[in-house]
Amino acid sequence: MKVNGTHYRSLWWDMNQSVLMIIDQRWLPHDFRTQALHTLDDFATAIIEMRVRGAPLIGATAAYGMALAAALDPSDSALNAAWEQLNATRPTAINLRWALNRCAETLQPLPVDERAAAALKLAHAIADEDVEINRRIGAYGLLLIRDIAAKKPAGEPVRLLTHCNAGWLATVDWGTATSPMYQAHDAGVPIHVWIDETRPRNQGALTAWELGSHGISQSYITDNAGGHLMQHGQVDLVITGTDRTTRQGDVCNKIGTYLKALAAHDNDVPFYVALPSPTIDWTVSDGVSQIPIEDRDSREVSHVQGVLDNGEIDVLRVTPEKTSCSNPAFDVTPNRLVTGLITERGICDASEHGLAAMFPDLIRKAAL
């Protein structure tokens, strides 16, 4: 997507420096900064500190981390150590382990002297595949938006609600939940997007920055406003992303997603999840009991980052001093609350039968 007239992906390979470049998302939406990742520690820190964030982007970043490791030392022991270091960075988003396992499966059979080139080629492929997956998700999601638009008076926008940031910043490009929005806007379908602020890190501000840069009509709302809007008929469709989805269609996403699904269910509002296939964990059936939920630093709850009146970016404490805070980063929405899953192959039911019918090759591979 474009930033100040220049097209960016959320990460890209600098051919001149032979180094991976990322957008340091800690500073957005207030400042646009980029960073080069030179060491394996740089890669791990970027993931842990959410300089890169979003399940698909974490996976792509990890693949480039393995490429760096292979360039430095392609031995089995060094690659295993790199796999362990990167895998330990964040526990919930399954794309991380998916990308690392794909790298290991590709590199292990190769002669040591061929691994570095193969690892970089694979990292490029994973990044490019993510872009195409998200483009296809958007094309299928656009069909849902068009169907709603066709039932509305001419010119009245389709009103969508989204939670957290499942945009191009959370992927390599396009985004998952935002891809249908971009494609609807570009196709001339009028839309308006309600954007949850998504505490504690206010990642909705990233979505607002993205969609606003694209000229999409939007309103930034508090996390607790969505149910009210649904009660009053002001939401036609909810679309969120996902960090891990079980084989039976339970969806793990940013904390607060479950509450949006409950409100949508109570008000007969369709609740869809944009699901790239690498985000499916075929080894897990019950998301509530089996998906590990990351507990993050309590400072993310007690403090907020913003821009002061003098234009400086600063962090302020919003809780009483020494207040104890809890910070579970994700929750699980049971499949019974999910209207459907928007995948790169089409839209399916949030069920084991629906996912198996959509991805028979992947479920067979997982069973091996």
Per-residue pLDDT of the chain (368 residues; tens, 9 = 90+): 778 788 899 999 999 999 999 999 999 999 999 999 999 999 999 999 999 999 999 999 999 999 999 999 999 999 999 999 999 999 999 999 999 999 999 999 999 999 999 999 999 999 999 999 999 999 999 999 999 999 999 999 999 999 999 999 999 999 999 999 999 999 999 999 999 999 999 999 999 999 999 999 999 999 999 999 999 999 999 999 999 999 999 999 999 999 999 999 999 999 999 999 999 999 999 999 999 999 999 999 999 999 999 999 999 999 999 999 999 999 999 999 999 999 999 999 999 999 999 999 999 888 76
Q: How far is residue 143's CA from residue 133's CA, in Å, rounded to a whole number?
A: 16
Closest CA to 258 of 180, 341, 206, 336: 336
Measured in whole angstroms, the distance separating CA 312 from the mean position of its chain's CA atoms is 28
User: pLDDT of 255-272, one tens digit each?
Assistant: 999 999 999 999 999 999
- CATH code of 111's domain: 1.20.120.420
Nearest of 279, 18, 7, 15 to residue 130 by alpha carbon = 279
Phi, psi of 209 (to 5 degrees): -65, -45
Same domain, 143 and 66: no
CA distance 55 to 94: 7
**Catalytic residue of the set 42, 173, 243, 331:** 243
Q: Where are the beta strands (DSSP E) in the chain?
A: 2-3, 6-7, 11-14, 19-23, 34-37, 158-162, 191-196, 218-221, 237-240, 244-246, 251-254, 271-274, 280-281, 303-307, 313-317, 330-333, 340-343, 346-348
End residue of a domain, out of 96, 128, 160: 128
Which residue among 65, 94, 128 closes a domain? 128
Contact 177, 239 (CB under 8 A): yes
Within this chain, do residues 109 and 163 fall inside the same structural domain, yes or no? no
Burial 162-198 (b: 16+ CB within 10 A, else e): bbbbbbbbbbbbbbbbbbbbbbbbeeebbbbbbbbbb
Residue 193 to residue 35: CA distance in whole angstroms: 31
Residue 175, CB-side half-sphere exposure with 13 Å CA sphere: 25
Note whether 166 and 224 are same-domain residues.
yes
Query: Which DSSP helix (H) or strand (E) runs through 229?
Result: helix 226-231
Terminal CA-CA length for the chain: 38
Handedness of CA 298, 207, 259, 96 (dihedral sign): negative
Domain count, the chain: 2
Compute the chain's Rg from CA coordinates: 20
Whether residue 167 sits in one domain with residue 119: no
pLDDT at 320: 97
Structural domain boundaries enclosing 120 = 2-128
Q: 8-56, pLDDT tens digit by residue?
A: 999 999 999 999 999 999 999 999 999 999 999 999 999 999 999 999 9
Q: How far is residue 362's CA from residue 279's CA, in Å, rounded to a whole number?
A: 12
Domain endpoint, select from 105, 128, 151: 128
244 and 298 belong to one structural domain:
yes
Answer yes or no: do 207 and 296 share one domain. Answer: yes
**pTM (2 decimals)?**
0.96
Integer Cα distance of 367 and 111 in angstroms: 28
Whether 11 contacts 40, CB under 8 Å: no
Query: What is the pLDDT, as a whole number, of residue 1?
Result: 77
Is residue 123 domain-shared with residue 141, that is, in the same domain?
no
**213 and 244: one domain?**
yes
- 279 and 221 both lie in a single domain: yes
Cα–Cα distances (Å) from 231 to 122, 161, 265, 268, 333, in that order, read: 47, 13, 11, 9, 20
Whether 203 and 328 map to the same domain: the answer is: yes
Domain check: are 110 and 146 in the same one?
no
Measured in residues, the chain has a length of 368
Rounded distance between C-alpha atoms, residue 188 and residue 313, angstroms: 36
Is 243 catalytic? The answer is yes
In this structure, are residues 69 and 80 in contact, taking their beta carbons and an 8 Å threshold? no
285 plus 197 within the same structural domain? yes
- Rounded to whole angstroms, how far apart are CA atoms 158 and 149? 6
CATH number of the domain bearing residue 149: 3.40.50.10470
